[in-house]
Structure 1
């Protein structure tokens, strides 16, 4: 849906100007071909940033001074140091779109019965009001800190604590930053096999989101995306300074998640599934992404844990600290073409 919002924005120069003015960009000039502007109104700021108004559905921004091209949402997040969700909220406000706006389908035959069946898997996930998080204590967690997750990262991702269940609370958000579930991690040790380490305190359609997507959006767009299994890996990566990671919440990539990855227009995707997980799982995920990424020039790589001696069994590449992750990224990442030889 982000692409549809950007397309609507690209069709409305007045809305683009209002958005730029809201974020205090300066010297805005509009003609039939483009919107040209500066970073701010300071005399030394050059008129060296442009948004074309023709054949630019993705609302790309060309920053001539920095030789960068980005979509307008990602550019604003980086340039103005604002949150992805807040930019989307402002765009919807300017375009007079409701919070639950969804793009309209083309005219449907037979009342849309068959279309509904075909596209049912693509229907957006259920979202919850932010007030449900008020039931939890807004405090960081020492257990997570010992697991290489900094206090700053815990605050950024809204990690909190549930007194009633003695669990660490992890808010799960959709691609726009709206709350769609809450996961709880045990804050205690137990030998009870019926007491899972992770469970959902608030139900969540995890196959319809990627943990970290909205928080890390501007750092991933147009670049490299690392795809992990667990939310903890994304939190660890952010603590190490890697803000280009997302998590599946499982070891299986859904079609919905694959489309979310592609909406980031990535140059490279690295599947970083846990050690000891059969590489067949990685192969299935790569095949899923390839099936959606037809006609796309996309580099896909994977973490080959079979040649990594730095991880214990059933561990994430991020579990053992920043230096180990750096080593893995330098020495244990292989191109997808090499996976056939491993299987």
Structure 2
């Protein structure tokens, strides 16, 4: 399920917001606020009828009584006590949303959401969905090498890191933006890799451009903080998570697809930080950052990390910014952050 498309569908048909709130158990729902662009309601029957706020144009939401800050999805998730995938399923059923290849409804924001991306790459690879039981094929054990790289055992458990005996690879499950497993990447379980070996290899192939690593796992935290960090690999969001900041997303490479850009922008975060690996040209970071910039109806701030003089990121190291110790990463954010 494309979360960006679901949210776009609800925004176009904003009367569905009231239906979602009603089905989720909210009370005294009204949109007679802020010139009709905001819904307000009570979280519980008989309580403050203006404690909950939802913006029709962005679906951003807050709840005064619980200190929740996020969007309609996290609001319903908190109320119903559901997992992220179950929340998406719950909302989709209420609004009878079925994902299609192209929009057949009027686009808001002057065409900001141009289209829902097709589920096929140019090479014909389809984004398949797998049951959680697919992970039973692998030993769900924390990995020592990942731990030494800065990924805590707690974070490894969160992202379901395992081990494939057949290929001697650390397994890393990738999920759709709504949280279903769509593929598995395998990392050779050793430091030194021979020329004829691939350090990373797709055990269950999938088109990375059709999803974002960490999107469903970190969605709620990103909404709450209003900030996200965008990296290349799947390891970087996990390292950042282990630093105490579950705010990272992984592209699976140095390219940002339209699908990925739309879903990142649909988070409506106030701040985005792009942290590409050392060695990539500054132009790559600028191009990705500009693609994530929003200026109509909602304005965000987009920055990229660029250690021009390699003060912290060693030249030719190809390190991710978060491969550095936590304090050095903070220094990068203080001294090497460039706003687009």
- Structure 2 length normalisation: TM-score? 0.80
What is the CA distance between 1:195 and its match in structure 2? 0.6
Is the alpha carbon distance of 1:74 and 1:307 closer, same or farther for their aligned partners in structure 2, counting shifts above 3 Å?
farther
Q: After superposing the two structures, state which structure 1 stretch, 71-80 or 125-134, moved more.
A: 71-80
| Residue of structure 1 equivalent to 2:128 | 127
CA contact (8 A) 1:9 1:15 kept: no
Q: Shift in Å at residue 145 of structure 1?
A: 0.8
Q: What do the CA deviations read for 1:305-328 (whole angstroms, capped 9, x no partner)?
A: 224423332111111232222222
The number of aligned residues is 310
Between Structure 1 and Structure 2, the one with more helix by share is: 1
Computing the radius of gyration from Cα coordinates, the structure with the larger value is 1
Change (3 A) 1:281 1:57: closer
Residues 94 and 237 of structure 1, relative CA distance in 2, 3 Å threshold: same
| 8 Å contact kept, 2:305–2:337 | yes
SS class of match (2:74): helix
Q: Does the CA-based 8 Å contact 1:170-1:184 persist in structure 2? A: yes
Structure 2 unaligned regions, length at least 5: 33-38, 106-113, 120-125
Output aligned runs, 1:1-343, within 5 Å: 1-4=5-8, 6-7=10-11, 10-11=15-16, 13-19=18-24, 21=25, 28-31=27-30, 33=32, 34=39, 36-38=41-43, 46-51=48-53, 56=56, 58-64=58-64, 70-77=70-77, 82-95=82-95, 101-102=99-100, 105-106=103-104, 122-124=117-119, 126-130=127-131, 131-221=133-223, 223-290=226-293, 293=294, 295=296, 297-312=299-314, 313-336=317-340
Segments of 5+ residues of structure 1 without an aligned counterpart are 108-117, 337-343
CA shift for structure 1 position 32 = 6.7
Post-superposition Cα deviations, 1:71-104, rounded to whole Å, max 9, x if no partner, equal: 221234467775322211222344455xx64487
TM-score with structure 1 setting the length: 0.79
User: Deviation at 1:2?
Assistant: 3.0
Q: Which stretch shifts more, 180-189 or 299-308?
A: 299-308
Query: Structure 1 263/16 Cα, relative in aligned 2: closer, same or farther at 3 Å?
Result: same
Change (3 A) 1:32 1:260: closer
Which piece of structure 1 moves more, 201-210 or 74-83?
A: 74-83
2:269–2:300 CA contact under 8 A, matched in 1? yes
Q: CA separation in 2, counterparts of 1:258 and 1:279?
A: 19
- State the alpha-carbon separation in 2 of the partners of residues 257 and 168 from structure 1: 25
SS of match in other structure, 1:171: strand
CA displacement at 1:168 relative to structure 2: 0.7
- SS of 2:182's equivalent? strand
| Aligned equivalents of 1:250, 1:215: Cα separation in 2 | 19
Partner of 2:321, secondary structure, is coil
Q: Say if 1:254 and 1:288, in contact at 8 Å, map to a contact too.
A: no
Distance 1:70 1:17 in 2: 18
Q: Deviation string for 1:160-184 (max 9, x for gaps)?
A: 1101011111111111112221100
| Deviation per residue, 1:46-87 (Å, 9 max, x gap) | 5542356xx825544343457876322123446777532221
